[in-house]
Amino acid sequence: MNTVTIEPLTRFASRAAVPIVVLAGLIVGTAAMLFTGAADATLLNDPGPAVRFGLPAAKFVFNLAMSLTLGALMFALFILPRTQGRRAGRSQDGAEEPAPDPLWEKALKIAEVSSVVWTISAVAVLVLTFADTVGAQAYLDFSGQLGVFLTQIAFGQLWVLIVVLIAVSSVICFGSRSYPGIAAAAVLGVGAMVPLALMGHSAEASGHTQAVNSIGLHLLGVTLWLGGLFVIALLGTKLARSPQLPSVVERYSSFALFAFALVAFSGVVNSALRVHDFDDLMTPYGLVVLAKALATIVLGLVGFWHRRFVIRRLAAAASARVEFWRLIIVEFVVFGATMGMAVALSRSQPPVPQEPVGDPTPAQILTGEPLPPAPTPARYFTEWSLDPLWVVISVGLAAAYLAGYVHLRRRGDSWPVLRLISWLVGMVLLFYVTSGGARVYGEVQFSAHMIQHMLLVMVVPLPMVLGAPITMLMRATTPRTDGSRGIREWVLWLVHTPWLRFFANPIVASVNFAGSLVVFYYSGIMQLALETHIGHELMIIHFLGAGYLFGQALIGIDPGVERFPYPLRLLMLLITMAFHAFFGISLMSSEVLIEGDWFGNIGADWGYSAIEDQQRGGAIAWGIGEIPTLFVAIMVAMQWAMSSDREAKRVDRREARTDDSELRAYNEMLAKMAVRDAETDSRRR
């Protein structure tokens, strides 16, 4: 291999990665801000050029450090092996300990340094955001007004939360070298994206759910994509000389493909909220959006070239490695320009206003959306409000399962088609419940909310459970043998964690399944699900998970779940459903309105009164549970019968192997007992 040619190129990519991105971002970002007018001084209360240009620069550094930190943590968790063959020494009990892999250690060093930069830049963005929000008046009593901004203004409070999450994540990066610790740092880092997404769109403006979730998905996609590319470059010659290079690049490429899909989809959704037609595209804002989309396409094409023509030749051809590093340099230039345009767009006014409408209706005040038309059975299937997060989850899981099925078939292994169909049905139902008519009307009607809730907890999980996704994952993926952890290893770890096994216990799963209804509707938690974006998403996650674990305890086949004998399963089902019916009846007879401030003030001029609709919701809660209960009971009975048949066949095979030795021994024992009884009787006579 021509290391003389490759190593200078590798060193250049490693040393110039950050400067290339920064330079390209500053040039393109400044040009885009001047083009869209984002750099122009405001007519009144202008904060000054230091803030107008300093805030975008700080945001650029913030985004860069975020990508690098989370990208390095991604490499440590999913791509690089943690240990290598040589031994580091002996532990206290005398056992030899494996030495940490040098590439893995370097990735964590990158995370440490970049997390510090991320924390400092977050503080800078916080202060500059305050100055930009208050304007020139901020300098009159800077510290006093800053304190009010951080403690009493929601925008400032969110930035305080962001800084805290990033700082704690940085501390963990320095203090932990265990997988759980690194995972915690990554979770906190990703968690900082949530308030970032929430700040990206007004809660009262139209399309809030679409905007917030698309922004969050966009941030996650860019972070995984650019951050991973940064880590590859910064690992430099150490990675270039390593035999791990092909496997590392191939693993990263899979994440990059997923990230590209996230960025493309979320970018389209978010742009559609700000640019509605061709005339909007011809505005300065729209033209920058088009340029950013073109840059994303170029990055996707480079990634396709990597996957199609370069990665498979890395192990054997020096020319492929030269081509690989050259393409990485090109990607850095395009990525820097893309990030610069993204920061400029965040500072520019889109052609479609993002502020709440004037003179809003009661429904718009509460939900941010116009009141939907009067509900009919047909409109439950024609009214849609896509939730980008659950679109990605449902479509992504369906595609992953299909890919696993195709892989098994090509390998010559069998997999029941009914399981495939069952899983796909579950994903279609999940897509509908989170984006269809049940969601649209669930925001304005208690009865529709109950439909969405019951489908989530009782209908959607059943085909998912019957699809046996964990078993599919175990069979369709290859175990890692180099000391790294992939999706397979992390899912297995999660399945066998004590806390998940606790919640998967049949008794706990049953109590959670039934008790969540009462807690959610009678404790005030429902208010959080209605009024806050995070509360709504957590509601979906909780009830979907509760239904899934309950279904696994009754009819599942995946590992990691303790299951009772079949008679106890039927008894558990009957007790749980009886409690469920009692809950429905209590709603039907209730005269006290649940969340009356919401459902009583929605302003609908159609349908029943709020209390009548709530009573209908109780009937729906009772009625929807009947069919799933019958289905689960039938499935338990069928599995019980099949289990009995398998046990009978097992006994028959054992008897055939032993020539009915157990039966003959039993007959001999009876004969001896009969002889003994006869002898006893004769002695008595």
pLDDT, mean over the chain: 86
CB of 350 closer than 8 Å to CB of 211? no
List, for residues 267-287, the tens digit of each pLDDT value.
999 888 888 888 888 999 889
Q: Which helix (H) or strand (E) holds 304?
A: helix 284-305
Cα separation of the two ends of the chain: 103
Q: What is the pLDDT of residue 462?
A: 94
In this prediction, residue 577 has a pLDDT band, given cuts at 50, 70 and 90, of: confident
| 680 vs 500 pLDDT, higher one | 500
Cα–Cα dist 304/309, whole Å: 8
Cα–Cα dist 645/575, whole Å: 27
Q: Give the Cβ contact number of residue 82 at 10 Å.
A: 20
CB of 120 closer than 8 Å to CB of 166? no
Residue 242 CA neighbour count, 13 Å, CB half: 19
Positive or negative torsion for Cα 471, 473, 479, 484? negative
SS3 (DSSP) at 97: strand
Q: Which residue, 222, 212, 231, is CA-closest to 338?
A: 222
pLDDT at residue 642 is higher than 90: no
CA 4 from centroid of its chain's CA atoms: 44
In this prediction, residue 111 has a pLDDT band, given cuts at 50, 70 and 90, of: very high
List, for residues 316-325, the tens digit of each pLDDT value.
666 777 777 7
pLDDT at residue 114 is higher than 90: yes
- The DSSP bridge partners found for residue 351 are none
Q: Which residue, 58, 59, 74, is CA-closest to 111?
A: 74
Locate 252 and state its tokens: 């990263």
In this prediction, residue 541 has a pLDDT band, given cuts at 50, 70 and 90, of: very high
Task: Please state the pTM of the whole predicted model.
Answer: 0.89
In this prediction, residue 428 has a pLDDT band, given cuts at 50, 70 and 90, of: very high
pLDDT at residue 89 is higher than 60: no
| 415 vs 45 pLDDT, higher one | 415
Q: Where are the alpha helices (DSSP H) in 412-468?
A: 417-435, 437-442, 446-454, 461-466
Q: What is the pLDDT of residue 320?
A: 72
Mean pLDDT of 629-639: 86
Cα–Cα dist 77/489, whole Å: 11
Q: What is the pLDDT of residue 319?
A: 72
Q: Which residue has the tokens 């396409």?
A: 297
Residues 6+ apart with CB under 8 A from 552: 465, 504, 509, 558, 561
CA distances from 228 to 341, 348, 540 (A): 21, 29, 31
CA 460 from centroid of its chain's CA atoms: 18
List, for residues 179-197, the tens digit of each pLDDT value.
999 999 999 999 999 999 8
Mean pLDDT of 348-357: 76
Q: Which residue, 31, 677, 649, 657, is CA-closest to 336?
A: 31
Pseudo-torsion of CA 234, 230, 34, 118, nearest 10°? -90
Mean pLDDT of 29-51: 84
Cα–Cα dist 68/229, whole Å: 9
Q: What angle (nearest 5°) sits at the alpha carbon of residue 325, between those of residues 319 and 327?
A: 100
Q: What is the pLDDT of residue 520?
A: 92
In this prediction, residue 670 has a pLDDT band, given cuts at 50, 70 and 90, of: low
Mean pLDDT of 46-67: 90
Q: What angle (nearest 5°) sits at the alpha carbon of residue 630, between those of residues 628 and 633?
A: 105
pLDDT at residue 153 is higher than 50: yes
Q: Which residue, 388, 384, 417, is CA-closest to 401?
A: 417
List, for residues 445-488, the tens digit of each pLDDT value.
999 999 999 999 999 999 999 999 999 999 999 898 888 899 99
- The DSSP bridge partners found for residue 87 are 98
Cα–Cα dist 409/29, whole Å: 49
Q: Regarding beta strands 83-90 and 96-100, do their DSSP bridges make them parallel or antiparallel, or are they unpaired? A: antiparallel
Q: Give the Cβ contact number of residue 376 at 10 Å.
A: 11
SS3 (DSSP) at 79: helix
pLDDT at residue 126 is higher than 50: yes
List, for residues 18-28, the tens digit of each pLDDT value.
788 888 888 98
CA distances from 37 to 23, 179, 199, 600 (A): 21, 47, 22, 45
Q: Which of 246-250, 281-285, 387-391, 638-642 has the lowest mean pLDDT?
A: 638-642
Extents of the domains making up the chain: 3-40+49-82+99-346, 381-478+486-647
Q: Give the Cβ contact number of residue 683 at 10 Å.
A: 7
